[in-house]
Amino acid sequence: MARKKREPALEERQFGTIPDQKSLNCFFSSSPDFGKVSGLVQELGKIDITDEADLSAVAEALRRKVYVLGLGGGYANLKDQAAEYARREQTEVEHMVYPIREENTPSYYNRFRAWRTFFAIRALNAASDAERENLLGELRARFRKKPQLARVPNLFTVTDEGQILANVDLDIRKAPLDLAVDIVAFTQNEHLMSEFEGQNKAAQRALLIGLGREAHIRLIKALITDDPKLIKWGIEYFTSQDYERFIRRMPGDLGEGRFGRKAAGMEIAYSILRKEDETFDREFLWSSGFITATPEIKAKQAFLVRARTMNGEEKARNNFEIEQAEGYLKRIEDQAFAVFKRFKEGSLVDNFSLPLGSNLLNELINANNRELGVLHDLKRIYESDPELFIRMEQGVRSKINDAKFPEYIERHLKEFYEGLVDKLGGNPFIVRSSSEMEDREDASFAGLYDSVVCSGRKDRFDEFLAAIKTVFKSLFTSDVFKYRAKHDLLNEVETMGLFIQRLNGKKRGKYFFPSYAGVISTRSVQSPEPDPTKGQVTMVTGLGDTAVREGGDIIWCAKFQYKLPFIQDSLDAVNMETGEFEHVPASVILSDTIRDQADFNDSFYARAARELVSRNVDRLCTSDESLEGGEIDFKKVVDGDRCHLPLLLHYFAEKLKRAMGTQLEIEFTADKNPNNRYEVQIVQCRPENISEKFTPSKKPANIPDDQVLFDISGSLNCGTGRDIRYIMYIGSTFYDREVEGAMSTEQVATLHDWIAKVNDRLPEGSYFMIVPGRLGNRSGQEGVPGNVNDFDRANGFMEVCGIGKWREVPPASGTHDFHRLMERGILPVVCDVSKKEGGYAGTFEALRNADSVLPQILDNIEIPDHVQRWLKIVDVEALGRGKKIGNARLQLAMTNGTGGVASLYLSPEGENLPVKA
């Protein structure tokens, strides 16, 4: 007769922490380590657990940490031990005859999990003291309700003679994370630190401050990055609550390793922006023009400037007027500040994100995926034979696709994914890289590592796994290794964490996208405005990929005006019905079923300045808030409308730039809340890597007219290019079907390969490109195909428009891949020949008639006739000989701002170079 299935008592299996005492005594009471293991269990039980967690969560986190550290022989060994003792417990302790029949599956799984927890604790007990205490410290920091501040003063004792003695090992940089958090929390508590004021406690206070700094470093290096500048910013702006939040967000074994630079940059940006800084805010009221400088204000300011130079007698004589002027400006500022506080209130919204630690890649490159061992040899292969590397590249990517995570890691990833989908409510998210190499001040890696949008559906776990592998695959491309080599980074160890971010936006019809997305640059090297140092905002409607791929509307923060006509006829969005990322025509988005839900005008001109103006926004400055002759101005943008969003973005950018002490590139999204106010989310914050070549310059006054190839007014960019030896010239009719011998569509598609071959043969900065239409598209329909990697040794390029087939094609103006152009120092020039009488006919004729040295440059490569005909490499020395200029070189001088000019002219090498503008 079959025995009845046994249901476990609730208290026996409720938490799945460890087996009951009877079973442990039966098997391990005589074991030498049993007492210590029991002590560890009691220590875990003493954690004052937060209301959001329970003992089972602590036990699960402990198991995962033990697995990832490889303690006790690793996951497979601990699992086998747990399975054996779960079976023995059934038969030897509970005397089951037919365990499979007598115990249901959920009950057995709880039993099995309890034994896994026990063996994980036993493995931890056998670890070194440092390993054990660090793991327990992380668990305490993650699950306890609050820091234990009382223990911090007990770290040292002060003798009667005033000598400070350590009560414990004070090497804080190796301390458990919970102790490091406690020290940071204590030293940031003004009330507790006030007890250590006064001369007799100065040494103790200094010690605590030093310990606090060391604790910051310990936490930042353990959790985030070892970059010195990021550590410096973290010490200044991170709080103990930030560190607790970081630790709790890290998903156990999936969070092992570091966040990486991208995640660090965003976290630091939010910490800076959350911190109130009244001094900066008041300065911003004046510098941004939030307070309009009326004639009366200007007069008061000018008087106070003069007062600073007055001697004592003059100041005494003018004391009343000085006090009156100061008081007047202070009243204006106080009233403006009150309005500004309301203006910015609630405008910064947290950007939901979760990190996956850098150890996840190591878990993929494990012993079970032996074929991935080749990844460790890629650096050597690239250095010895780049062509072999390129041939291997696709195979390496396929191997990563086929690789499997360890069983327990994949199981934990699935649990993580399901929890993530629940938190996001089915909305899409993006898997982004967060490498230790990217977002440096000297090497951004912008555009080199992939980011992948996921639909956020519960049944799409495979899509999530594929996204993770896609990001990891982007580590091992020839473009990345080429970039690393150019920045002398091949010998640095690359570690990559992942950054999971909610895709910000709203659902409109079946599509999901933000009203606005874009990039804030704190210094604008592209600007017709008087002060490019004020920066610019590049913005699109929809997901921000469009801004990177095609450019967008540009708002210059000097006057909050935009001048570049940018008609956005499509946008990037997620189709919520299919879960797919799509490039959607505007006509689809603005169909009758969606139009009422859309946040932009009927013509769908995504002209950022016009689109961002809210006609219904709260009038934060009204007639009853007049400011004694001054008025608050929200920066008139179009037709006298008041601008809300550009001013907010400018404020955030200036505050971050001041705090971080460097030029920045800040990605953002924005939407309106139900109160019709804009809410901004920071997506990324990184140093803006601008080459020194983007320095304004002009041609010397003594250059004869016949040596000037181009003088182009209204230059958008600034820059300096010196002693350029070659011009790569592609004629404007290369793709004109009416011209005999023009390239076919297939030939145009491969043109970028030939540009890249020339690029690889010529020295850095030795050539300048002159091409028709828009440089950078792949199809050739709008101009010459290619991307920055194809011409990354160029000194610059000129897009020729306003002629023939390219008359209606808008130039990219350097907005395409602009961050990489800035970093590489590739200077963009636009020449609209329709605006110049004669259209530079003489220059173009000279280039068409010049001999090409392409065969000499590609001396061992067979060059097709169509390439030789249309891709010319002109030796500037030969051009110079026709003008009696010896050893001629091409010089490029560009100023922007008001009256900007771009000049390309010839001069002898090293002579008549561009001069600073």
Q: What is the pLDDT of residues 550-581, one digit of tens each?
A: 555 555 555 544 444 455 667 788 888 888 88
Q: What's the pLDDT at 616?
A: 24
**Which tokens belong to 736?**
């004109």
Residue 625 lies in a domain: yes
Q: Running DSSP on this structure, what letter comes out for residue 96?
A: -
Domain that holds residue 533: 506-687
- Do 770 and 846 belong together in one domain? yes
According to the 3-state scheme, what is the secondary structure of 363-422?
HHCCCCCHHHHHHHHHHHHHHHCHHHHHHHHHHHHHHHHHCCCCHHHHHHHHHHHHHHHH
Q: pTM, whole model, 2 decimals?
A: 0.81
CA-CA distance, 432 to 718, in Å (whole number)? 32
**Which tokens belong to 261?**
């630079």
**Which tokens belong to 811?**
């130039």
- Do 450 and 511 belong together in one domain? no
Q: What's the pLDDT at 162?
A: 65
Band of pLDDT at residue 827, cut at 50, 70 and 90: very high
Check whether 639 has a pLDDT greater than 50.
Answer: no
Q: What's the pLDDT at 818?
A: 74
Band of pLDDT at residue 779, cut at 50, 70 and 90: low
Q: What's the pLDDT at 815?
A: 61
Q: What contacts 399, CB < 8 A, 6 or more positions away?
A: 369, 371, 372, 374
Q: What's the pLDDT at 472?
A: 92
* Mean pLDDT in residue range 162-170: 67
Q: What's the pLDDT at 599?
A: 43
Residue 276 lies in a domain: no
CA-CA distance, 497 to 65, in Å (whole number)? 17
Total number of domains in the chain: 4
User: Does 806 or 704 have the greater pLDDT score?
Assistant: 704
Tens digit of each residue's pLDDT (9 = 90 or more) over 72-115: 998 899 999 999 999 999 999 999 999 989 999 889 998 999 99
- Do 665 and 582 belong together in one domain? yes
**Which tokens belong to 880?**
């110079």
CA-CA distance, 364 to 359, in Å (whole number)? 9
* Mean pLDDT in residue range 586-604: 47
- Do 452 and 577 belong together in one domain? no
Q: What contacts 910, CB < 8 A, 6 or more positions away?
A: 723, 889
Highest mean pLDDT, choosing among 370-374, 806-810, 854-858: 854-858
CA torsion 105-106-108-112 (nearest 10°) is 130
Residue 430 lies in a domain: yes
- What is the H or E stretch that residue 266 is in? helix 261-274
- What is the H or E stretch that residue 183 is in? helix 177-187
CB 803 within 8 A of CB 763: no
Q: What percent of the chain has pLDDT over 70?
A: 85
SS3 790: helix
Tens digit of each residue's pLDDT (9 = 90 or more) over 239-277: 999 999 999 888 777 878 888 888 888 999 999 999 999
The residue from 454, 476, 502 where one domain ends is 502
- Do 487 and 522 belong together in one domain? no
Q: What's the pLDDT at 617?
A: 27
Check whether 34 has a pLDDT greater than 50.
Answer: yes
SS3 188: coil
CB 489 within 8 A of CB 517: no
The residue from 457, 474, 502 where one domain ends is 502
* Mean pLDDT in residue range 618-641: 30
According to the 3-state scheme, what is the secondary structure of 309-333?
CCCHHHHHHCHHHHHHHHHHHHHHH
The residue from 448, 469, 502 where one domain ends is 502
CA-CA distance, 687 to 822, in Å (whole number)? 12
- Do 362 and 468 belong together in one domain? yes
* Mean pLDDT in residue range 210-233: 91
Q: What's the pLDDT at 565?
A: 44
- Do 851 and 865 belong together in one domain? yes
Tens digit of each residue's pLDDT (9 = 90 or more) over 738-753: 777 788 888 888 889 9
- Do 734 and 662 belong together in one domain? no
